[in-house]
A and B are shown apart, each in its own frame.
Chain A
Amino acid sequence: MRRLRLGLALEAAVLLTILAVGKPVLVPLTLAFYFGFLLTPPSEWLERVGVPRALSLVMAIGAALASFVTLASVLVAQLADLAKQMQTYSAQMSQKVDTLRHGPLGLLTSFSNAFAELGRVLNSQVSSTQEGTLHLAPEPLSVGQQVGALFRLLEPAGLVGVVVVLTIFVLAGREDLRGRLIQLVGPQNVTVTTRTIDEVVKRISHYLLTQSYINAGFASVIALGLYLIGIPYALLWGVIAGLLRFVPLLGALVAVVMPSLVAFAIFPGWSETLMTVALFVAVDITVANFIEPVVLGRRTGVSSLALLVSALFWTWMWGPVGLVLATPLTVCAAVIGRHSAQLSFLTILLGDEPGLNAEINFYQRVLAGAKGDALRIAKHRAKASSITVALDAVVLPAISLMSRDHQQQTIDDAAAERVLTDLNEIVTQLQSQPPVAPAPDSGVIGLAAASEADALLLRMLGQVSPGLNPLALRSALRSREAAAEEVLRHAPRMVCITALPPASSANARFFCRRLRTELPNCRILVLLASVGDKSASETASRLREAGASSVVFGLTEARDALSTMMRGAPVVELKAASSPG
């Protein structure tokens, strides 16, 4: 185990090192795939309407580049202008803060200072861009420094160029790439690989396109709203808000800070600031609660927490580019986990499915002594469907799991007893109506094969089948021979035995044989609660061999079988019961 943990730690360390050291190569490559996913749907649409592939690529990439360049130039111009105005804004803000300094809003002072600092930084950067690096340098730069500065300036342009070229290759050779990937994974895994690639492409393309449209709409509404309020650089704030919205949960919160501070700095009153905040809150709540659930649904299949953690991780690893790539990378990991047994932990960690399914969650809550939580789960299930389904889907598996744990001595007698008591109370509280008193001459008898858990199972069956007379004769309280004698004395037309294998299997078979011998026409139904038991079919087969008319595995099935058998069961004439001795 220790060696395994060391191995995992080593693998994680190697992976992190590759991601950190390989950043110059991996970032453009990942960005190319990112844009490939983004531009595949429009490119495919163009091909479908008859545009040749080469031309469709040029059109898709050209349109994307043109939009990028236009937007970037407008944003750079607005940013440069904002930087010039920063000193003015910070002075205005300081004046405003001075009037509040003695009030309860001392925090604003630090905001003002931070704002002034940001203004200074932006100013220095803009002047360096506008007037040249040499102007700021007190002494002439050496040749090496000049070459270095040139490379630093060329680096972003080079990155854009590399990404554009790679994107063209990804888009042009997407079928070829798919073939190579399948070849790499192995032809024997062709189905799994194809399904994984299809799902990754589908989910990410859908997610990126839909989220991009939603965020573009969000940015437009924010920009328009800010413009109407009178906030300068409305387009800049709108675009920043749209980009930040890719960061789950926190993006919109961060986006509201800058325009609110500008509003605070330039307007004499509070109304514009409050309107700015209200605009962000209203638009974000509308988008998050009404538009996204309808348009986006659960398309990513990734939990919000996973997206947030992923955003933190990738930003730490690759900076702002990592922030943009965080969601697609997380979706990729979750989808790959869904199709690969070895990597299924990724889906469990990142997926939006609940960590535990309802039955395990219910049992875990009962085991932890949180009876209230367990009852809530059962009631929720009962409300969504019915009490029978709730008993069948969560309580019966819990009894089965408890019985298994008790038999394997994972839980001791005291814990098993406490769990059973809690389950009994939950079953009582689930009952919406008072129990129907069974008809004494119904001719149907319930028999718990051995344990208290079998008795609870029988009680549940009685709850969903009012015609059952649950005698709950348990050999734990008296000998099974005596229990069998008592059943025989009632000369039933039908007997329903509840049993939790393997502990109660021998007793259940004993009752089947005895009843079959003494009452050949009696119908014997066995409810075998064996969730996840691989030998359940063998146990059922042995019970049939011992004389069971029918063996069922769930309450609903048992109730239906009971009902059918009661309608068709002939009246049994009691044979003279021979003495067991």
Chain B
Amino acid sequence: MVNEKSRSDEAAAAAAVKARGCKVLVVDDDVANRELLESGLSDAGYEVVTAEHGAKAVALLTAGLDPDLILTDLQMPVMSGWELCDQLKRSPAWRSIPLVVLCGMTPEQRGELQVDDAFEKPTDLDTLIRRISELCGA
């Protein structure tokens, strides 16, 4: 049991080393969700930048933020996740950034938004981080 835990800790530490330097932009209007994601990703070695809605995320990107991945909720005030996805995919500067949405979507909707993956809420954090790791190449 102890060995198993130790092996798991070692794997987590190795993953954290690989993720070092990976920057994730988390866009969610729910403070609790944001904090949970920020804490989980930071523990996994990611550098996290947060925004409370799509417009804030666009402002950060325009100011020069260069994330390795964007993780966004869909239903948000000011600028929704759909609008954000649309704007990102229309911009030549941002269309290559991997995009993961936190909301249930049919495969058709996912294809329309051209997102790399979608997760139902509530999301299993480990599964989400594993997928983020793959998308970042970590």
Q: Footprint of B on A, CB under 8 Å?
A: 406-409, 413, 416, 450-451, 475, 481, 484, 501-507, 509-514, 517, 535, 539, 542, 545-546, 580-581
Q: Is B66 an interface residue (CB 8 A)?
A: yes
How many A-B residue pairs have C-beta atoms within 8 angstroms? Tell me. 68
Contact A450 B93 (CB under 8 A): no
Residues of A contacting B110 in the complex (Cβ-Cβ under 8 angstroms): none
Contact B95 A503 (CB under 8 A): yes
Contact B96 A504 (CB under 8 A): yes
Contact A514 B21 (CB under 8 A): no
Residues of A contacting B137 in the complex (Cβ-Cβ under 8 angstroms): 484, 509-514, 517, 546
What is the minimal beta-carbon distance from A259 to any residue of chain B, in angstroms?
67
Given contacts A505-B66, A506-B98, contact A513 B92 (CB under 8 A): no
Closest to A535 in B: B64
Contact A475 B96 (CB under 8 A): yes
Q: Which 8 A-B pairs have the closest CB atoms?
A: A513-B137, A407-B93, A545-B21, A510-B137, A514-B137, A450-B96, A406-B92, A503-B93
Residues of A contacting B64 in the complex (Cβ-Cβ under 8 angstroms): 502, 535
CA distance A502 to B64 in the complex (A): 9
Contact B18 A513 (CB under 8 A): yes
Partner of A510, one of B66, B68, B94: B68
Closest to B116 in A: A479
Given contacts A506-B97, A509-B68, A535-B64, contact A407 B91 (CB under 8 A): yes
Residues of A contacting B7 in the complex (Cβ-Cβ under 8 angstroms): none
B50-103 with Cβ < 8 A to chain A: 64, 66-69, 91-98
What is the minimal beta-carbon distance from B109 to any residue of chain A, in angstroms?
19
Contact A580 B66 (CB under 8 A): no
Contact A517 B92 (CB under 8 A): no
A-B contact pairs, 20 of them (CB 8 A): A407-B93, A416-B92, A502-B66, A502-B93, A503-B93, A503-B95, A505-B66, A506-B66, A506-B67, A506-B69, A509-B21, A509-B68, A509-B137, A510-B68, A517-B137, A517-B138, A535-B64, A542-B66, A546-B21, A546-B137
Residues of B contacting A407 in the complex (Cβ-Cβ under 8 angstroms): 91-93
Closest to B19 in A: A513
Residues of A contacting B23 in the complex (Cβ-Cβ under 8 angstroms): 542
Contact A542 B134 (CB under 8 A): no
- Chain B contact surface mostly: loop
Given contacts A511-B137, A513-B137, A546-B21, contact A506 B92 (CB under 8 A): no
Contact A408 B93 (CB under 8 A): yes
What is the minimal beta-carbon distance from B15 to any residue of chain A, in angstroms?
11
CA distance A509 to B66 in the complex (A): 11
What is the minimal beta-carbon distance from A125 to any residue of chain B, in angstroms?
73
CA distance A202 to B134 in the complex (A): 66
CA distance A514 to B23 in the complex (A): 16
Q: Is B48 an interface residue (CB 8 A)?
A: no
CA distance A505 to B97 in the complex (A): 9
Given contacts A409-B92, A512-B137, contact A506 B20 (CB under 8 A): no
CA distance A365 to B120 in the complex (A): 51
Q: Is B136 an interface residue (CB 8 A)?
A: yes
Residues of B contacting A413 in the complex (Cβ-Cβ under 8 angstroms): 92
Partner of B21, one of A451, A475, A484, A542: A542
CA distance A512 to B20 in the complex (A): 13
Residues of A contacting B138 in the complex (Cβ-Cβ under 8 angstroms): 513, 517
Contact B66 A539 (CB under 8 A): yes
CA distance A481 to B138 in the complex (A): 12
B1-29 with Cβ < 8 A to chain A: 18, 20-23
Contact A507 B92 (CB under 8 A): no
Residues of B contacting A510 in the complex (Cβ-Cβ under 8 angstroms): 68, 98, 135-137
Contact B20 A503 (CB under 8 A): no
Closest to B135 in A: A510
